[in-house]
Structure 1
């Protein structure tokens, strides 16, 4: 699997390819499969990757209530948290909108703080792709002006995920962590 970065502003890949023919929505991520089919949207990609290696137990089996809970968490992280950050990374966002988004995100993190005080992972005792997604999105908080210092369970969650060997490997590969 190869990583190719995309400049969202210019809609060009790191090798200079126009990204819009790849994904007309203009969004990342996009996963190109072996048969050249493309899969978009984080929740779909994460479930697909988890299903490739069921022995890793990153997603509960299809048809179980636990799988629907996974989809519930992936939907929440995607639509409420991930999309909630977008205006905070745009310098043209009016201050009123910025404060509203920070307030909404703080409310959502308050709910997550309460949950993660009682269990280590979103689905309980087992790490899942929803936890990986939450970790990624939550790592944006300092860059978006969100203070996590009063969220000890969220901070402990971030540390637990960040210490996982595969997560460390991914962060190193993307240049987000130095060894």
Structure 2
């Protein structure tokens, strides 16, 4: 498999998932502004959306959209890892609920903060919305190690990526003790550290 990624982007989430799953993969860096690969190839020929992540399968097919990709990764490692509850269970739908919440309520509210053309007043609005979403997550993490309870899942890699974005935008989450403890717990995982280190090395 090939993971098309950009350092610092949301593609960190499936990168973490691949390492946690122990699946073989090739890391392919994408310049999302120029829509080019490192070798100069046109990324739009691989993913016409022009965004990361994208996962190139050995069959030649390409799967896009982070919440879908991470579930595919979890399912491919289901025999040896427990990165997602079994299909067709209530717990699996709960995982999808978290993935949908992160992608719509966190990820998309961060998007305007990356746009230089958007006025500061508008960015303040989105920052305040994000703080409200983080407050909700903090309440849900009470008594839990991870979003689904005691077990790390692919949703945790996605939320951790959003928390790194919050750091990048200097958002003060210190008032959310459950969330801060959670962030430290996820950051301490060896495979999470490996993903972050690999992308930092590639970005240098």
Normalising by structure 2, we get a TM-score of 0.82
Q: What is the Cα deviation at residue 145 of structure 1?
A: 3.4
From 139, 146, 153, give the equivalent of 2:164.
139
The residue matched to 2:142 in structure 1 has which SS? helix
Whose RCO is larger (CA < 8 A, sep 6+)?
A: 2
Normalising by structure 1, we get a TM-score of 0.93
C-alpha distance in 1 between matches for 2:145 and 2:116: 35
Structure 1 unaligned blocks of 5 or more: none
In structure 2, the residue matched to 1:84 is 109
- RMSD of Structure 2 on Structure 1 (CA): 1.2
8 Å Cα contact 1:85/1:144 also seen in 2: no
**Offset from partner CA, 1:95-142 (integer Å, 9 cap, x none):** 122011101100000001111123111111211100111001111102
Q: What is the Cα deviation at residue 77 of structure 1?
A: 0.7
Structure 2 residue 196 is the aligned partner of structure 1 residue 171 = yes
In structure 1, the residue matched to 2:141 is 116
C-alpha distance in 2 between matches for 1:15 and 1:79: 33
Structure 2 residue 39 is the aligned partner of structure 1 residue 35 = no
C-alpha distance in 1 between matches for 2:81 and 2:190: 14
8 Å Cα contact 1:8/1:26 also seen in 2: yes
In structure 1, the residue matched to 2:89 is 64
More off after superposition, 141-150 vs 48-57: 141-150
Q: What is the Cα deviation at residue 14 of structure 1?
A: 2.1
**Offset from partner CA, 1:34-92 (integer Å, 9 cap, x none):** 11110100011000000111121000000000000000101111111111111111111
C-alpha distance in 1 between matches for 2:59 and 2:186: 32
From 147, 151, 156, give the equivalent of 2:176.
151
Runs of 4+ residues deviating >3 angstroms:
none
8 Å Cα contact 1:50/1:57 also seen in 2: yes
